[in-house]
Amino acid sequence: MDKKGRMVIVGIILAYAVYQMSKAFYLDGDIMWHYKTGGYILSHLSVPKHDIFSWQPNLTWMPHEWLHDVYLYLFYSTFGIWAARILLVASIAAPIFIAYNYNKENIIDIYGFLIYIAVLKLIEASSFCVRPSEVSTLILVMATVLIIDEKKHRNIIYFILTVLFVNIHGGAIASMLIIPVLCMFADLVIFLATKEKMDVKANLKILLIAFLGSLINPQGIFIYKYTTNVFFNSYIKDNILEYKPLNLNLAAAVAILGIMLCFGASKKFRELKKEDIRKYAVMLAFLSGGIAVRRMIYPAYCLLAIFGFQYFQEYLISLKILDKDHTILQRHYKIILTACAVVAVAILTSMQIKKPVLGYVDYVKDEESNLNEAANFIKENNINDHLYNHYNIGANLILLDVKTYVDTRCDPFIKEFSGSTSLADFFDITTGTNKENKPVAVLWDELKEKYGFKYGLFYKGIWLDRELAYSLKLRGYKTLFENEDYTIISVEDQE
């Protein structure tokens, strides 16, 4: 591809990323406690070893994403909402740039590459937010490329990438170890198909390097306590929407490749290069488990963007969408695709939200917000002790320096981490998992008795909080504060 073609690709990628930057985008409640944790680390120059945000005593906490918290705080405190937008642009553009750089020697036509990226974006079709996973996924992708293509100095670079990964997203550190394992399996397939000698020593070496690199973090070997609990904690997986353990389905990848090998594909495997087999193994491992889970779509999309293009291009050639000499996309396809792109851009532009978009942190900290008003009442009247709050409001309260009952960090409130059953008890109300089918008000009374609630902060935008506040008012409990969105009730004093 010539220089002009490369400039067109770069320009389109940047234009798309900037367009996304100007839109309203998804930022979940986690950003608040990440932001607050980053501020704590920088002011104390240490990573917390225990819970610092809840009023419940003796809760342990492992901030395994501490490095993400630090750079998020630095970006946000410096640039405000632009910090989130900069990180958003990076998460959108970076995998496409990596995919382009990886495939640039094989790109026959600009349109073919852009069609491929567009198709993947339609498959991925989820909102981005400022999560540690956006950054850690890019590290994982770079590490995978390093191993598959056996790049120079890969051992040293893989070690450095593992150290970065474990400090940005330590709870998913197993993924850095699983990639070498997948490559070992791919080498086994190569051996079975071609009898090419396996380099077991080199594979084990990279696995050991990844493990040693993973230990360079504030938690040391105990980071694997977190990882193990995430893998095997079925309660989180079953009760928190979209929260799934790392979903690299190694067994499914083995089964799919095995079937391909046994049922007539062995000739095809003999024609493939070593790195091609490895790409198949990695992509299948993600797709067979990850594509169905929203939080795993992004890494699956990134890996497909990089490793899948050559197969996609071959498919276009087989459909004769590329012309007979395979150099350019046929003219009528270009006209149709350009027209579709113009219409799509026009529709998306018409859907733009015109008013300025506040970042989540800016919104929650806004002095005129209803939540800030409620939080100020709590602090001014010293009623923070034993305060009930809904799980989804917890991170907002953390940002406003109000101690929580539960919040979206999850870990401190789970038996496997702290010995606490706070989260399980809370979700008994919200998901109706109690087998006795007790009314919500009765379940809440039991919760109050167990945790000694003195006050309750109820958000009118959540059905559970509305029901609880209504029930408590009917029973004569004293309303201390109320505005358009929030109600604070003393659950000990009655009118």
* Same domain, yes or no: 382 and 272: no
Burial class (CB in 10 A: 0-12, 13-18, 19+), 458: buried
| Distance from C-alpha of 155 to C-alpha of 143, rounded to nearest angstrom | 10
Tell me the pLDDT of the chain averaged across its residues: 76
Mean pLDDT value across residues 22-49: 82
Residue 22 resides in a domain: yes
Other CB atoms closer than 10 Å to residue 241's CB: what's the count?
6
The CA–CA distances, whole Å, from 372 to 148, 164, 477, 484 equal: 51, 36, 23, 12
Residue 452 resides in a domain: yes
Give the CA count within 13 Å in the CB-facing half-sphere of 248: 20
pLDDT of amino acid 227? 77
Which residues span the domain enclosing 3?
Answer: 1-129+325-356
Residue 8 resides in a domain: yes
| Distance from C-alpha of 199 to C-alpha of 147, rounded to nearest angstrom | 13
Residue 305 resides in a domain: no
* Same domain, yes or no: 185 and 280: yes
* Same domain, yes or no: 437 and 448: yes
Residue 315 resides in a domain: no
* Same domain, yes or no: 138 and 276: yes
Q: Read off the pLDDT of residues 399-430 as tens digits, 9 standing for 90 and up.
A: 999 999 999 888 899 887 888 889 888 887 87
Q: Read off the pLDDT of residues 203-229 as tens digits, 9 standing for 90 and up.
A: 899 999 999 999 999 999 988 887 776
Q: Read off the pLDDT of residues 104-142 as tens digits, 9 standing for 90 and up.
A: 887 777 777 877 777 776 655 555 566 788 788 888 888
* Same domain, yes or no: 374 and 469: yes
* Same domain, yes or no: 377 and 454: yes
Domain limit, last residue, from 306, 334, 356: 356
* Same domain, yes or no: 18 and 74: yes
Domains in the chain, number: 3
Residue 300 resides in a domain: no
* Same domain, yes or no: 120 and 142: no
- CA 58 to chain CA centroid, Å, is 28
* Same domain, yes or no: 147 and 245: yes
Identify the band that residue 354 occupies on the pLDDT scale cut at 50, 70 and 90.
very low
* Same domain, yes or no: 258 and 332: no
Identify the band that residue 46 occupies on the pLDDT scale cut at 50, 70 and 90.
very high
Residue 148 resides in a domain: yes
* Same domain, yes or no: 192 and 235: yes
CA torsion 316-317-319-321 (nearest 10°) is 70
Residue 124 resides in a domain: yes
| Distance from C-alpha of 93 to C-alpha of 19, rounded to nearest angstrom | 11
Evaluate if residue 233 carries a pLDDT over 80.
no
Domain limit, last residue, from 356, 374, 405: 356
* Same domain, yes or no: 108 and 136: no
pLDDT of amino acid 201? 85
In the chain, the largest separation of any two C-alpha atoms, in whole Å, equals 85
- CA 417 to chain CA centroid, Å, is 21
Residue with tokens 């009760």: 239
Pairing of strands 477-482, 387-388: unpaired
pTM: 0.80
